[in-house]
Amino acid sequence: MLDVNTPHTLKGMFINGQWIASGASFDDINPSDGSVWAKAPDGGGAEARKAIDAAQGAFPAWSGLMFQERAHYMRKIADILERRQTDYATANQGEAGGWFGKGMFEAGYAVEVFRAAAAMCYQSTGEILPSSHGKLSTAQRVPMGVISVISPWNMPCILTARGFAFPLAAGNTIVLKPSEDTPYCGGIFFAEVLEEAGVPTGVFNVVTSSRANVAEMGDELVENPLVKGVSFTGSTPVGRAIAAKSGAHLKKCCVELGGKDSLIVLDDADMERATASANFGAFMHQGQICMSVEKVLVHDSIYHEFLAGLKARTAKLKMGDTGDKSNVIGPLINDRQVDRVQSQIEDAIAKGAKVEIGGGVNGRFVEPTILTNVDTTMDVWNDETFGPVVVVVPFGSDDEAIALNNDTEYGLSSGIITQDEARALAMSQRLETGMCHVNCSSVNDEPHVPFGGSKASGVGRHGGRWSMETFTETRWITLDRGHRPYPPVF
């Protein structure tokens, strides 16, 4: 078990069932105090190619297993993850600056991801089609081959598990590259789990790299001809590049990207539910969630009451080194994220925004911040923040709230707080988001649902049968029993 503060040397990259130590390593930093939490192996294109070759070699046998055999592996993985929940949560405190409770939630959620993937192995994936010539005409879902999974640092357990569990259950083989900020929690941890579960050699591989080598490794994982599909979760700029490269090679990709998500609070909202949903949605894991509430749109008749209630809740959040389990608000992951968030706050203030609470920056710790008097000229209105900053903006009508929500290139998630479900459902049809949650925060996910966004928030869907469809191909196979005639000239 890796604890919060003690420096570690990670076992290596996991390629073809072997732990491979590269000649170079990079510092894996604890964002709370800037100390070196671990030394991680620093690979590049060569290691990625070895992993892809191993996955390709393992594909025929893995895809040829009976469906229930793959399901049994998924359940073994789930059981080991369940036993190692505390291991993960503790490592995530040190490597990613995550609150202990958040880490326990992540690992528990990942358990259910693999159980849901096991269940999908038993679902019907094909169809019998009518045939004008009396054939037995079938449409079958078949695994694609090697899938590259590139996972992020913010929710490394959930988003890594979601990225590869369903493709693996479908019969694909995997090469995983975690973020350089979380090489253990997002990658090597899973290699330990799948090795213990006895997953066959080469079926699951993990490669890691520093930021300096990430482009070289990433290009190999997308452009290598043996790779048949790409699963990416991360920022919109990087996702655009990966989707473009995948498209150039005519490869399937599923990219889940950024968001600028709104919580819409209508005039009949339950105030306790509204302020709790906003506080959780905006500040859980320092706002470093793609679905985080970055805009709260509040009906002007309850605006002041809501703002007072939200400020009171936010003031109670305890910030500090997440090695202390009582600290709910930890550091941002790195200095680049701090600069991004601080720049948005400063730009907003310079253009007339008011800081209702927070606004302070101390190293990587950014105080939970509420801004008002925000307008569309400000960066904080237009750009994803990915930090503990939320704007609160009044509106006068449902139409205005919808327009304010849609005024962004993003379209991931949204929430509506109201006692009128019919009103909310009517509004949800007009919101340009892939997901909408009534009387709940925009931060929502379940293993079996179609998770994904519209516009600049991504292409494709993760979760349940939607993942199975994304990472399989449809094959038409017929048996000619009706003796289809050919033209006499032949």
Enzyme catalytic residues: 256, 290
Angle between helical axes of 67-83 and 156-169 (0-180°, round to 10): 160
**Cβ atoms of residues 38 and 220 within 8 Å:** no
**Cβ atoms of residues 116 and 71 within 8 Å:** no
CA distance 372 to 110: 37
> What tokens were used for 339?
């600069």
**Cβ atoms of residues 395 and 298 within 8 Å:** yes
**Cβ atoms of residues 447 and 162 within 8 Å:** yes
CA distance 402 to 272: 23
